[in-house]
């Protein structure tokens, strides 16, 4: 048992949460780790959990006990990794925290390891924000144009492989500039947010909805021919036309519909949908398919 008073004092000075373990049982803990869990003593910690690994929350990209081979100790697994291993734990405040784990052996003691947890929650949050910005429109939280184009290429591949029908709907909010001019950009932003929420609630989970730019949006409909896409477009047009929010101005939308055909060049379908959208704006009462 470790009873060196200098060692015990030293680990309490370390600001990072730290434990000493044999891989199966927690032998020591510093004050920072106890504070994280809202505990006052090592005895309380040992009562709470025999192994610290039982506190780890499973998330994608984080350490999981499922990563271990039969009979393998979690601490041995982490010790052998060349790159930092991340774990997630919940504090006594109910906050999920991300940590990078460093493991070192205490050579003078058999099968004894020092485990230090470095809080990387803010770095993980920033990374997730950056990842989200790479594929989501920051205002409406739907897909952006760049990721839509990537997903469209995959849909093209699936169509040619499986012979499935594939259509697109272009949507444009009518006279949106007037909304911004008359009510201000804050209201205009709220209109866009509520509009995308409304559309999202009335399309299939397999449909891909993206902001194409400004007040223009696009929906990719797998396994839908032009007639099915047209019916959906008309449904959405009437849905928006009849939607009322006492705090927002009423809007209408125009829609152009086109099916991606065998032999289409990459932009052919978009050109037809864009032409159909232009015609829809002229008629002002129905979606147009081409």
Say which DSSP state 143 is in: B
Which residues are within 8 A (CB) of 189 and not within 5 positions of it... i.e. 6 or more apart? 139
Ordered by start, the domain boundaries in the chain are 5-127, 136-289
Distance CA 258, CA 278 (A): 13
Least confident piece of the model among 178-192, 199-213, 240-254, 275-289:
275-289
Least confident piece of the model among 49-53, 100-104, 230-234, 248-252:
49-53
115 forms beta bridges with 19, 103
Helices 121-135 + 145-162 axis angle, to 10? 60
209: region left, alpha or beta (phi > 0 left; psi from -120 to 50 alpha): beta
Tokens representing 181? 């001019």
Known catalytic residues are 215
Say which DSSP state 71 is in: T
**CA-based diameter of the chain, in Å?**
86
Tokens representing 223? 């396994």
In percent, the amount of the chain with pLDDT more than 70 equals 97
Distance CA 122, CA 145 (A): 28
Q: Is the pLDDT of residue 286 over 80?
A: no
State the pairing for strand pair 166-173/113-119: unpaired
Least confident piece of the model among 31-35, 97-101, 156-160, 165-169:
156-160
Considering the domain delimited by 5-127, tell me its CATH architecture. 2-Layer Sandwich (3.30)
**pLDDT tens-digit readout, 156-207:** 888 888 888 999 999 999 999 999 999 999 999 999 999 999 999 999 999 9
Check residues 188 and 267 and name the one with the higher pLDDT. Answer: 188
pLDDT at 114: 95
CATH superfamily of 136-289: Reverse transcriptase/Diguanylate cyclase domain (3.30.70.270)
pLDDT at 158: 83
Which residues are within 8 A (CB) of 43 and not within 5 positions of it... i.e. 6 or more apart? none
CB 75 within 8 A of CB 24: no
Q: Is the pLDDT of residue 268 over 80?
A: yes
Across the chain, mean pLDDT equals 90
Average pLDDT over residues 110-118: 93
Q: Closest Cα to residue 137, out of 204, 229, 185, 208?
A: 208
From the CA atom positions of the chain, what is the Rg in Å? 28
Q: What is the full DSSP assignment across 197-221?
A: HHHHTTS-TTSEEEEEETTEEEEEE
Distance CA 206, CA 223 (A): 9
């Amino acid at each position: 048992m470790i009873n060196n008073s200098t060692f015990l004092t030293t680990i309490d000075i370390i600001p990072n949460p730290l434990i000493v373990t044999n891989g199966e049982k927690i032998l020591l803990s510093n004050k920072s780790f106890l504070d994280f869990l809202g505990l006052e003593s090592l005895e309380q910690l040992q009562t709470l959990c025999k192994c610290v690994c039982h506190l780890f929350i499973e998330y994608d990209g984080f350490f999981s006990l499922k990563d271990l081979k039969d009979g393998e100790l979690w601490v041995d697994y982490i010790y052998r990794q060349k790159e930092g291993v991340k774990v997630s734990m919940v504090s006594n405040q109910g906050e999920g925290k991300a940590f990078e784990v460093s493991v070192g052996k205490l050579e003078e003691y058999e099968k004894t390891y020092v485990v230090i947890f470095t809080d990387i929650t803010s770095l993980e949050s920033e990374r997730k924000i950056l990842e989200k910005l790479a594929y989501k429109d920051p205002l409406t939280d739907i897909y952006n144009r760049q990721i839509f184009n990537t997903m469209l290429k995959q849909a093209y591949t699936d169509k040619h492989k499986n012979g499935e029908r594939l259509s697109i709907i272009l949507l444009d909010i009518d006279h949106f500039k007037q909304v911004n001019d008359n009510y201000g950009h804050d209201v205009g932003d709220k209109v866009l947010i509520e509009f995308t929420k409304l559309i999202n609630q009335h399309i299939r989970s397999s449909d891909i909805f993206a902001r194409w730019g400004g007040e223009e949006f696009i929906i990719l409909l797998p396994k839908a021919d032009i007639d099915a896409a047209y019916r959906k477009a008309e449904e959405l047009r009437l849905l928006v036309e009849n939607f009322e929010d006492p705090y927002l101005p009423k809007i209408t939308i125009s829609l152009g519909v086109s099916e991606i055909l065998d032999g289409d060049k990459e932009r052919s379908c978009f050109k037809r949908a864009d032409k159909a959208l232009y015609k829809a704006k002229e008629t002002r009462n129905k979606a147009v398919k081409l």
